[in-house]
Structure 1
Amino acid sequence: MKRSQLILIAIGVMAVAGLYALPSVVVDNDSKADSVSQEDESTSAASTDPVAMHDAELSPDERLQINTLKLQISENSSAEELKSSTEEIAGIYQKLGKYDSAGYYLSLGADQLPNSGLAEKAGNAYYEAFSFALDPEKVSYTAEQTRKYLNKVLENDPTRLDLKTKVAMTYVSSSNPMQGITMLREILDQDPQNEDGLFNMGVLSMQSGQYKRATERFEELIQYHPDNLQGQFYLAVSYFESKQKNKAKAQFEKVKSMTKDEMILGSVESYLDKL
């Protein structure tokens, strides 16, 4: 799931967040303290070694499979064997949702095989990790790795606006957000109908409280990409926040007709109850 999807959920369930924030189980204080301590240690390990905290979560079979593949990656391995083993290891971590570990192994392969296509896969894996990251150090690290490997692809093919959009979004979360916004504007200058560019500019407008501008971005988005459910939902939220109640109601009803996702439908109903 991308950062934009997480933002959708965060905004969409704002009205019912209290319900989901309640603990589903009762824990004693000692266990909670131990859990927090372990989480702190894991966070620290993640910032220095993205694989360290995930290895303990592997099943015996997964650990054996990864160790076997590691043995296959040797100085005597052919380029094809190295690429295949690297992708298999990354695939295991990706299935578990451990995208930074997947990115780590893909980046090792990309460094050894610069023309293998692994740089793009490494950058995309790190971008997924960036999308989920909450710890500032991890956000910074995964953003940097995303840029490092996706820029390698862009150096050879600057027409890849999909990758440029991802790089731009990593800058938006950095100490220099205007660099990311400038890149998104450049993307829309090149391709005014660019789906990712319009969507992300709309989200950024919402985050800055510019809901009128957000409605313009999302109206453009769904004009060119009517099946973009997130854009349709965000447009409704933007209408709601900009006090355009009739448009908001009609738009939320449209979103209801487009999905059966219970979380989204619950969010829609919570907004409709306020109109």
Structure 2
Amino acid sequence: MKKSQILVIILGVATIAILYFLPRVVVDNDEGNTQISEEQTSTPATAESMHDTPMDAGDRNILNGLLTDLEKQDNREKIASLSEEIASLYIKAGKFDSAAYTFDRAAAKLETTESWEKAGAAYYEAYTFAMDQEKVSLLAEKTRTYLAKVLEKDPKRLDLKTKMAMTYVSSANPMQGITMLREVLEEDPRNEDGLFNMGVLSMQSGQYKRAAERFEELVKHHPDNVQGQFYLGVSYFESKQNNKAKQQFELVQNMSKDPMVLASVEGYLDRL
């Protein structure tokens, strides 16, 4: 999970938006030790009820014109370019579900692998921002619908398989997601997104020592992954490995200039 897995880091409390909606899943890799202690269900919303949201008046005027052009457009190249313009305006306004819905409409007209991937990636981005369980469920389902089409054409796309896996983790069938992540790591033990996500899921289930192992492996092969470095510090902190936590947070201080990350690191250091 790269930046599409959005971090919410506020003064010593580190988590991911999705974690608020994940079931309590135990992801210990020991055979037979995987359990699900709670599952969540919801009634899906509709994409149409989500996609039209307030934005800057000037951008809205431009957007309305582009939407009108797209509605009557039959040229495939113009459909693709107009969709990009429309989605960029929504993204500028922070309306990621609206951007995803735009690519969804384009994919329905274009029916190409590229259009499916754009729609799936956009829905996944929106999914990582969603804070409402109903919206999370819908966006996860739409992500899977489109990325599955791409994977059917190219099963080697481990990056897309990882995204799909994470959407299952927040569904009523979280073990399917855990299984998919394990398959990714079996095929590519150094996979950045796979290691990161398994570490995050171990944190979410309170298995901080196991999380530390995942993040240690992650930063060993991907030392520039600041999120992984930060969560390694959190995992050390939560598993009472204070000396390691202190060293790790000091490392993150030297790696990142993000004020929110630095404030959160300082909060942890103050507690050590």
Q: TM-score w.r.t. structure 1 length?
A: 0.82
Structure number with higher helix proportion: 1
The whole-number CA distance in structure 2 between the counterparts of 1:105 and 1:47 is: 10
Name the structure, 1 or 2, with higher relative contact order (CA <8 Å, separation 6+). Answer: 2
Q: Which residue matches 2:49?
A: 49
The whole-number CA distance in structure 2 between the counterparts of 1:116 and 1:86 is: 15
Q: Deviations over 1:223-255 (max 9, x none)?
A: 000011111111111111111111111111111
- The structure with the largest alpha-carbon Rg is 1
Among candidates 82, 86, 89, match of residue 86 of structure 2: 89
The whole-number CA distance in structure 2 between the counterparts of 1:76 and 1:253 is: 55
The whole-number CA distance in structure 2 between the counterparts of 1:76 and 1:199 is: 41
Label 1:100 to 1:74 Cα distance change in 2 as closer, same or farther (>3 A). closer
**Secondary structure of 2:50's match?**
coil
CA contact (8 A) 1:188 1:194 kept: yes
Cα offset for 1:2? Answer: 4.9
Q: How many residues align?
A: 242
Once the two structures are superposed, the pairs formed by residues 3-152 of structure 1 within 5 Å of their partners are: 4-7=5-8, 9=9, 13-14=12-13, 48-52=48-52, 54=53, 57-74=54-71, 77-115=74-112, 117-152=114-149
Identity level (%) = 60
Q: Which residue matches 1:161?
A: 158
CA contact (8 A) 2:45 2:138 kept: no
Q: Deviations over 1:101-158 (max 9, x none)?
A: 1111111110111126121111111111111111111011111111111111111111
The whole-number CA distance in structure 2 between the counterparts of 1:4 and 1:59 is: 26
User: Which structure 1 segments of 5+ residues have no match?
Assistant: 16-43
CA contact (8 A) 1:130 1:142 kept: yes
User: Which structure 2 segments of 5+ residues have no match?
Assistant: 15-43
Cα offset for 1:263? Answer: 1.7
CA contact (8 A) 1:212 1:242 kept: yes
CA contact (8 A) 2:59 2:89 kept: yes
CA contact (8 A) 2:100 2:122 kept: yes
1:119 alignment partner AA: W
CA contact (8 A) 1:215 1:238 kept: yes
1:49 alignment partner AA: S
Q: RMSD across aligned C-alpha pairs, in angstroms? A: 2.1
Q: Deviations over 1:33-67 (max 9, x none)?
A: xxxxxxxxxxx987652223x1xx23333233222
Q: TM-score w.r.t. structure 2 length?
A: 0.82
**Secondary structure of 2:6's match?**
helix
Is 1:196 the counterpart of 2:193 in the alignment? yes
Label 1:158 to 1:251 Cα distance change in 2 as closer, same or farther (>3 A). same
Cα offset for 1:87? Answer: 1.8
Structure number with higher strand proportion: 2
The whole-number CA distance in structure 2 between the counterparts of 1:79 and 1:271 is: 52
Among candidates 245, 255, 258, match of residue 255 of structure 2: 258
1:183 alignment partner AA: M
